[in-house]
Amino acid sequence: MVVYYEIAGRKFGSHVPRTTTMETASSMGTWLTLIAIQLAMATLGTTFLGAFAAMGGSKASQQSGPPINATSKDEEKFIQEFMQNAEAEEKKEKAKH
């Protein structure tokens, strides 16, 4: 399926013809074909560059839960160990199913 672009009153297909260099362009029709090719390539490049830029960026960090509000270091250590043990038990239960 070929899409046709109308440039300067002429229709050009979206495919790339065999003559694509400026040195071999001798007639006005070939020049217009080259302009159409450049237009198509610029459109595709802009589209893909925009999509690439939109998908980039930093990933949001996932927090495993609310912050621990402990009154001492011992209490904080106890809570962290308890949470690790609870997560380990959950993994074991899921592995059994």
**pLDDT for res 17:** 54
Q: Report which of 57, 79, 54 is spatially closest to residue 66, judged by C-alpha positions.
A: 79
**pLDDT for res 30:** 73
The tally of domains found in the chain comes to 1
Residue 44 within any structural domain of the chain = yes
Residue 45 within any structural domain of the chain = yes
Is 30 in contact with 19 (CB distance < 8 Å)? Answer: yes
**pLDDT for res 3:** 77
Written as tens digits, the pLDDT of the chain (97 aa) is 577 878 888 887 776 555 555 555 455 567 777 788 888 899 999 999 999 988 877 776 666 667 778 888 999 999 989 989 999 999 888 887 6
Residue 18 within any structural domain of the chain = yes
Determine the Cα–Cα distance for residues 45 and 6; give it in Å rounded to an integer: 20
**pLDDT for res 56:** 79
Tokens at 10, concatenated? 């002429």
**pLDDT for res 43:** 93
**pLDDT for res 61:** 63
Residue 97 within any structural domain of the chain = no
3-state secondary structure of 4: strand
Residue 61 within any structural domain of the chain = no
Range of the domain at 8: 4-53
Is 60 in contact with 54 (CB distance < 8 Å)? Answer: no
pTM of the entire predicted model: 0.35
Q: Where are the alpha helices (DSSP H) in the chain?
A: 28-55, 73-96
Q: Tell me phi and psi for residue 4, to 5 degrees.
A: -105, 135
Residue 62 within any structural domain of the chain = no
